[in-house]
Amino acid sequence: MSTNDTEHTAPCPCGSGKLYKDCCMLRNKEGSGDNPLDGLFSDIFEALEEQEFMSKAEAETYFEHYMQEQRQKTVDDFHGLSSDQMHRFLYSPFESPDLVEFPEVSDTSAPIMRLFGMLTEAIGEKGLKTTAKGNLPRQFCRDTALAYSGEELYNYLSQIKQINMEMDFFDMHITRLTAQLAGLIRKYKGKFILTKKYRKLKEKSGLGGMYQLILKTYVRKYNWEYYMPISGVHLMQHSFLFTLYLLSLYGDEWRNIEFYQDCFLRAFPMAVELVEPLPSRNPETVIRLCFAIYSIDRFAKFMGLIDHKDEPGSARKRLTHVKKTPLLDKVVRFHLSA
């Protein structure tokens, strides 16, 4: 069995689920030199050359055992995680209680929960009439946008674009979609109404007790690429737990968003292969921008898991530095052996 055959059939140890030849090997061929896994397969091939195998099956068994050992080793750019742990972060984040758990929490202060509270209060017992296209009414969106953003920011944004439909208040639009996907509200006879599931949960643990359901729905069912169909965004959604892990590790102090962007790109160098360059931005710049928007702003901030400092003089509050909130350590707990 040739080492070349092994190279082409081996799963990439970065945990992406792809074959090595379709993942990190791409960067090797381009001579990037900054892939944390560059030397792994050369070590494998050296180990194989030192062995004598009587059959292909024997070689495959040896290779599988070797790879299992490698997957248990921590990778520097995974920040203390092994390839196996990263794989579980990506593919079974809610099914690995020995590695990570999501305790039940109650929170109504996170931005998405504030909006969810406004939405369910407006729906109430009588329901909230939809527009002809099945969306939230314009006046409701305007009133809640003012209450949510504050008068100064609301007036500034209104100069750029008036709220004439639900999509113009995108945070509320995301909240409404997530609540529906979670089975907490639904449409019935031209109205949004509260479901039996919502009423049962509200009676049991109050509005704040639905936080974990909202979070899980947001990362599992709501499609982050819905508004901006860039393939790299899918990887960011898939790696949401790694983002929380980084914030848990380093979020005790204020850090520039660039720090987390760098961490993401070192862990997932193949991300730049997923996007097409834009006229004014190369793939890495696109990935960095998407990470700041989707992983940090529209996920961690929207879920109330970070505090943020904004760019000086920026009325639109462009995030520059972030720090984790106490809620993050309540929402997710990591169990990693020393």
pLDDT digit string, tens, across residues 156-212: 778 888 999 999 999 999 999 999 999 999 999 999 999 999 999 999 999 999 999
pLDDT for residue 9: 52
Helical H segments across the chain, by residue range: 3-9, 24-29, 40-49, 56-72, 83-91, 111-123, 138-149, 151-160, 170-181, 196-205, 211-220, 231-238, 240-250, 257-267, 283-290, 326-331
pTM above 0.75, yes or no: yes
Q: What is the pLDDT of residue 6?
A: 46
Answer whether 264's CB lies under 8 Å from 293's CB.
no
Instruction: Answer for the pair 139, 133: CB distance below 8 angstroms, yes or no.
Output: no
Q: Which amino acid is at 86?
A: M
The CA distance from 287 to 278, in Å, is 11
Question: What's the whole-number mean pLDDT along residues 9-21?
Answer: 54
Tokens standing for 38? 């560059």
CA distance 226 to 329: 29
* Mean pLDDT, the chain, integer: 84
Q: What is the pLDDT of residue 33?
A: 45
The pLDDT, as a whole number, for residue 73 is: 80
- What is the per-residue pLDDT for 280? 80
39-48, 91-100, 220-229, 324-333: segment of lowest average pLDDT: 39-48
* HSE of 213, CA atoms in CB hemisphere, 13 A: 19
Phi and psi angles of residue 129, each rounded to the nearest 5 degrees, phi first? -65, 135
Average of per-residue pLDDT across 109-123: 98
Which tens digit of pLDDT belongs to each residue from 57-108? Answer: 766 666 666 666 666 688 899 999 998 899 999 999 999 999 999 999 999 9
d(Cα 238, Cα 222) in Å, to the nearest integer? 12
Q: Beta-carbon neighbour count of residue 70 at 10 Å?
A: 18
Q: How far apart are CA 72 and CA 14, in angstroms?
A: 12
Q: Which residue has the higher pLDDT, 4 or 42?
A: 42
Pairing of strands 255-256, 191-194: unpaired
- Distance from the Cα of residue 244 to its chain's centroid: 8
Cα Rg, the chain, nearest whole Å: 23
Q: How many residues belong to the chain?
A: 338
Looking at 23-27, 81-85, 189-193, 237-241, which range is the least confident one? 23-27
In percent, the amount of the chain with pLDDT more than 90 equals: 59
What are the domain boundaries of the chain?
A: 3-73, 111-220, 227-334
Among 42-56, 113-127, 247-261, the range scoring the smallest mean pLDDT is 42-56
CA atoms within 13 A on the CB side of 50: 7
Q: Which one is predicted more confidently, 79 or 314?
A: 79
